[in-house]
Amino acid sequence: MRMACLLFVTLAALSAPALAVHIDGHIKPDEWRGARHITDFRQTQPLSGKPGSLHTEAWILATPKGLAVAFRCDQPADVPRTHQRVQRDFEDQVDRVNLMVDFDGDGRTGYDFVVSSTGGVNDAVITNEITFNKDWDGNWQHAVSEDASGWTVEMLIPWYIAPMHTAHNGKRTLGVYLDRVTGSTGERDSWPAASFMRSRFLSDFSPVVVPQYSQSLLAVTPYMSGLYDNVHGRSHFQEGADLLWKPNGQFQLTAALHPDFGQVESDDLVVNFGATETYVSDKRPFFTENQGIFDFSLLDDNSQLIYTRRVGGPSDDGQGAADINAAVKLNGSVGTTSYGVLAADEDGPAGRFFGAARLTHDFGDQSLGMMLTRVDRPWLDREATVLGVDHHWRPTPKLTIATNVVASDILQSGTHTRDSGGTILADYEMGDGWRQQWLGMHFGKQLQVNDFGYLERNNFNYGHWEVRKRYTALPADSAYSSHDWRFRIDALDNDQGLRLRRQLRIARNSTLRNGATEVVQLNVNSAGWDDLLTRGHGAVFLPPSVDLVYERISPRHGDWAFKLDAELISGGLGGNRQLGYDVKFIPTYFVSDAFSIYAGPYYEHLPDWLVWQHDTLIGRYNEHTVQLDAGFDWTIDGRQELRVKLQAIGLNARVRGGYRVDGSGRAVASADPVDDFSLRNLGLQIRYRYELAPLSYLYVVYGRGGYALDGYARNASDVFGNSFALRDDEQLLVKLSYRFDI
């Protein structure tokens, strides 16, 4: 009997899957025993569906410590390898693999884990089928090894990495997607043969059934920071902590006490004289952790009901950025219903309170969600409440329909202002590379979501019809591997019936066999009204215009890589009678695989540039801009990196005349004084980062910048040269944060 029991235990141990995988970049058969073995990788870039030109295989294994995945990528000597070292969240065209996981298998939220052949990592959250947000940084394991015939990657994704629905009968169904990208050619080979070039990507992941595992996590990340202001000769010290508690997959708490939202990542300089706000992404860890549940897209570019840059943004009293006392976020699920609650409180009499609640429920091929936001702004005597409902439906394998409805209620100084809006989007994959899309939008004139959200403009009705055709069977001697053509017609009016635009768009997105990408787009715009230029003082009628854009990104070949952007554009009061243009060329030189230098000019000339002055007065200018983007990236070793980023702008605007918008909407020459002007802008950041442990860093950051708007015009190159003398800000920041996993 004892021998029989011993034999049974021995056989069970041999047949059971490995309980632990050592992540060292070497695939050991005994560790991966029982794993699902994947070999059918298909070309999805170009999207031909053919077997991959290089052999790739992968293993998927659920373990108590997380989801383990291994890749073996064959790469013979005649296929160049990219040995370039990359920084976190890289976008470089290098040899790499992607593991994407939808932990609930419902097509709502996915997580992308990327590893390059040199050990660089990138991670992102996927929402709305094809929207990637790489602001999020997760804590997961990876290792890479290389030999003469190829390279190998092992990854381990902890179960606490993301919120998950309750498992059933001890099993969990994941949605999984794997791919391998060859840097020298840009070819992407995937399993399954899903593609983000289609309207449906996340919901096309392959279902993988794994045993139910659960992990808890309590992580505390205290920080200390010190800032010295060299302009005003003063110092500022701050300390605080972030808390992350995940007792199980169905509940997660994120909190921040006296959070330091100081900028260790520099934003790009933007010159914006327009009537709409520039969107800027958010890298602050509190807001990027498990933020996917709060994604409520209005299906219009970057529009969202929650734009986290509002929190801790410019204060309502105009005294700089607001300080945040505390912020808290809850995520969880009950069955197939997910929920999220977010709250943040700012300090002082001008401090705002931000609150949001989110619910989503999955019905299989449909999902329904609700979002409620509330912002209290005592300094402005304003309370803003916004409610949104969104619905996603996949009625057939080829048709996807997304809709949402939003309504706002603004109480300011005792008066309510209410309005609503909505969007419907239908995408249909017709087969043989053909695809159609219909989009309709309405946002009322009094709809206001920008207290917490982001909407570029309200007061419009928009519709478009678009047809696409994808070509992948190009001749073998063609420099291109695929073309994706798009033809679109659209109509844009405001709620008062003014025709703002009619547009024909023709675009081609192409991939080349050397890994480069190319975009060509032509927009032909009818005559129409601009109802934003005068900031509510009357719409102005503008003649037809055109816009031709060309972009080419060439990955590293030898010691060089480059990016080229060029544009021909007409507009203003003259319409197509005069063409403006801009050109941006940024070459990158690789001193070594770990050290690269880039420097490139940007030049813009707009001969008919309209700038609002006040009330109905606009200025017509001949504008020139000179800009420099330069810097270097040095990956010192696996833990250290040094980055320098420099941007300088010089803008010259010589007035061609002042114009008043009359009652009929025509621009009439005016004797009102309108002056020449010039603009200078500078941004310099030198950033050193040392990784003490996963998600634990020491930052030393030097920054200098300035902005000057002068009431006269000079040569644009002289203005640009004088931008280097700007010194509105000069700061040295030292920040230390360390994450303790308990």
Confidence at 262, pLDDT banded by 50, 70, 90: low
On the question of pLDDT at 268 being above 50, the answer is yes
Block residue for tokens 């005592």: 378
Mean pLDDT (the chain, rounded): 92
Specify if 460 maps to a domain.
no
Residue 14 has pLDDT above 50, yes or no: no
- CATH code where residue 176 lies: 2.60.40.1190
Q: What confidence category does residue 6 fall into, taking pLDDT thresholds of 50, 70 and 90?
A: very low
Average pLDDT over residues 424-446: 96
| Closest C-alpha to 305, from 128, 450, 416, 446 | 450
Q: What are phi and psi of 722, to 5 degrees?
A: -75, -15
Q: Are 311 and 286 in contact (CB under 8 A)?
A: no
Mean pLDDT of 182-189: 95
Q: Using the predicted structure, report yes or no on whether residue 61 has a pLDDT greater than 80.
A: yes
Residue that has been written with the tokens 């549940």 in this structure? 293
User: 520 CB contacts (<8 Å, ≥6 apart)?
Assistant: 507, 508, 510, 548, 549, 550
- Residue 18's pLDDT is 42
- Residue 591 inside a domain? The answer is yes
Where a domain ends, among 188, 206, 238? 188
Q: Which of 129, 157, 188 is the last residue before a domain boundary?
A: 188
How much of the chain exceeds pLDDT 70, in percent? 97
Output phi, psi for 718, to 5 deg.
-70, -40
Strand-pair partners of 72:
57, 152
In a domain, 602, yes or no: yes
427 in any annotated domain: no
Handedness of CA 106, 107, 109, 115 (dihedral sign): positive
Give mean pLDDT, residues 261-284. 83
pLDDT at 260: 62
CA 242/CA 256 separation, integer angstroms: 4
pLDDT digits (tens, 9 = 90+) for 340-363: 999 999 999 999 999 999 999 988
Residues 6+ apart with CB under 8 A from 471: 433, 482, 483, 484, 485
What is the chain's alpha carbon radius of gyration, rounded to the nearest angstrom? 27
Write down the pLDDT at residue 261: 54
Whether residue 192 is preceded by a cis peptide bond, meaning omega within 30 degrees of 0, is: yes
* 292 assigned to some structural domain: no
Q: Which residue in this structure is represented by tokens 């002289």? A: 718
Residue 301: its pLDDT value, please?
80
What's the average model confidence in pLDDT over 122-126? 94
Contact 239, 225 (CB under 8 A): yes
pLDDT at 13: 34
Half-sphere exposure (CA, 13 Å, Cβ side) for 213? 21
- Mean pLDDT, to the nearest integer, of 273-285? 88
pLDDT bracket for residue 12 (50, 70, 90): very low
- Does the pLDDT value for residue 24 go beyond 80? yes
Confidence at residue 441, expressed as pLDDT on a 0 to 100 scale: 97
How many whole angstroms separate alpha carbon 257 and alpha carbon 254? 10
**Per residue in 508-563, pLDDT tens?**
999 999 999 999 999 999 999 999 999 999 999 999 999 999 999 999 999 999 99
Kindly tell me if the per-residue pLDDT of 11 is higher than 80: no
Q: Is the pLDDT of residue 8 over 60?
A: no
Which residue carries 């109802």 as its tokens? 531
pLDDT of residue 282: 84
User: What mean pLDDT comes out for the span 164-176?
Assistant: 92
The predicted model gives 189-200 an average pLDDT of 94
Task: Tell me phi and psi for residue 735, to 5 degrees.
Answer: -135, 130
Whether 146 contacts 154, CB under 8 Å:
no
- The secondary element (H helix, E strand) that includes residue 476 is none
Q: 223 has which bridge partners?
A: 240, 737
Q: Which two tokens stand for residue 81?
A: 């390898």
Instruction: Give the burial string for 534-550 (b: 16+ CB within 10 Å, else e).
Output: beeebbbbbbebbbbbe
Within a domain: 684: yes
Q: What is the pLDDT of residues 367-417, one digit of tens each?
A: 999 999 999 999 999 999 999 999 999 999 999 999 999 999 999 999 999
Q: Is residue 329 part of a domain?
A: no
195 vs 452: CA distance, rounded Å: 33
Task: Estimate to the nearest angstrom the gap between the alpha carbon of 239 and the chain centroid.
Answer: 29
Question: What is the amino acid identity at position 611?
Answer: V
Instruction: Give the pLDDT confidence of 667-722 residue by residue, as tens digits.
Output: 999 999 999 999 999 999 999 999 999 999 999 999 999 999 988 877 888 999 99
**HSE, side-chain direction, 13 A CA sphere, residue 595:** 5
**34-41: which pairs have CB atoms within 8 A and are 24 or more residues apart?**
34/61, 35/59, 35/60, 35/61, 35/68, 35/70, 36/60, 36/61, 36/208, 38/178, 38/191, 40/191, 41/178, 41/179, 41/180, 41/189, 41/190, 41/191
- Interval 493-508: pLDDT, tens: 999 999 999 999 999 9
Please answer whether residues 646 and 683 qualify as being in contact, where contact means their C-beta atoms are separated by less than 8 angstroms.
yes
Domain that holds residue 716: 558-565+575-742
6 assigned to some structural domain: no
Tell me how many domains the chain contains.
Answer: 2
pLDDT at 49 over 50: yes
Query: Residue 257 above 50 pLDDT?
Result: yes
d(CA 334, CA 27) in angstroms, rounded, equals: 38
Region 27-42: mean pLDDT is 95
3-class SS string, 175-198: EEEEEEECCCCCCEEEECCCCCCC
* % of the chain at pLDDT higher than 90: 82
Taking CA atoms, 171 is separated from 14, 62, 167, in Å, by: 22, 11, 6
From 156, 188, 220, give the residue that closes a domain. Answer: 188
